[in-house]
């Protein structure tokens, strides 16, 4: 990738962060400013991604073709890539599930504690069990990465 493309992408990323933030700060103090800032942020994000895809996909990479052919002959490309993908999925999906579980357990625990303060310990155990799901996913990811 040439230096000009890198500079343009850096400027696009800076603008995609700065413009929505500036719009939010400069806007009126109403509820509509949050919605407008969020829509502007989403539009800038996807615009930056589309620009990046267009700029990165327009060039040709001759060196990558030779390295890909050499790695494909040994079979290292697919197993390493799938290993990294599976480690990322294990961590990401377990954290997503853990977050959903913690949101349910913590809100129920806060409601129960507000009625009876003596059940604080029992409710924290359930919230901790929900957080444990994330740790199990992280441990599985480390085990997968250790085999690569």
Residue 146 scores a pLDDT above 80: yes
Q: What is the pLDDT of residue 63?
A: 54
Q: Check whether residue 73 and residue 122 sit in a common domain.
A: yes
Q: Give 3-state DSSP helix, strand, coil % of the chain, rounded to 5.
A: 90, 0, 10
Q: Check whether residue 76 and residue 42 sit in a common domain.
A: no
- As a whole number, the mean pLDDT across the chain is 78
Q: Residue 28: enclosing H or E segment and its boundaries?
A: none
Alpha carbon of 66 to those of 57, 63, 70, 80, 87: distances in Å?
18, 6, 6, 18, 27
State the residue range of the domain holding 40.
Answer: 3-59
Q: Check whether residue 94 and residue 42 sit in a common domain.
A: no
| Cβ atoms < 10 Å from Cβ of 38 | 12
On whether the CB atoms of residues 91 and 141 are closer than 8 A, the answer is yes
- Residue 131 CA to residue 93 CA, distance in Å, equals 13
- Residue 87 CA to residue 139 CA, distance in Å, equals 10
Q: What is the pLDDT of residue 121?
A: 87
Q: Check whether residue 99 and residue 53 sit in a common domain.
A: no
Q: What is the 3-state secondary structure (H, E, C) of 88-119?
A: HHHHHHHHHHHHHHHHHHHHHHHHHHHHCHHH
Q: Number of structural domains, the chain?
A: 2
Q: Check whether residue 88 and residue 140 sit in a common domain.
A: yes
Q: Check whether residue 95 and residue 38 sit in a common domain.
A: no
User: Band of the pLDDT at 74, cuts 50, 70, 90?
Assistant: low
- What is the DSSP code (8-state) at residue 75? T
User: Band of the pLDDT at 51, cuts 50, 70, 90?
Assistant: confident
Residue 62 scores a pLDDT above 80: no
- The CATH number linked to 132 is 1.20.20.10
What global pTM score does this model have? 0.48
Residue 90 scores a pLDDT above 70: yes
Residue 78 scores a pLDDT above 80: no
């Amino acid at each position: 990738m040439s230096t000009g493309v890198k500079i343009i992408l850096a400027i696009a990323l800076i603008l995609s962060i700065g413009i929505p933030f500036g719009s939010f700060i400069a806007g009126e103090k109403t509820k509509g400013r949050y919605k407008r800032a969020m829509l502007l942020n989403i539009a800038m994000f996807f615009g930056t991604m589309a620009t990046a895809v267009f700029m990165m996909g327009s060039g040709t990479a001759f060196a990558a073709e030779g390295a890909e052919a050499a790695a494909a002959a040994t079979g290292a490309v697919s197993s390493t890539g799938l290993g990294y993908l599976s480690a990322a999925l294990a961590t990401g999906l377990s954290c997503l599930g853990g977050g959903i579980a913690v949101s349910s357990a913590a809100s129920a625990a806060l409601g129960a504690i507000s009625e009876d303060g003596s059940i604080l310990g029992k409710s924290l155990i359930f919230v901790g069990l929900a957080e444990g799901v994330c740790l199990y996913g992280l441990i599985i990811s480390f085990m997968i990465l250790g085999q690569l």
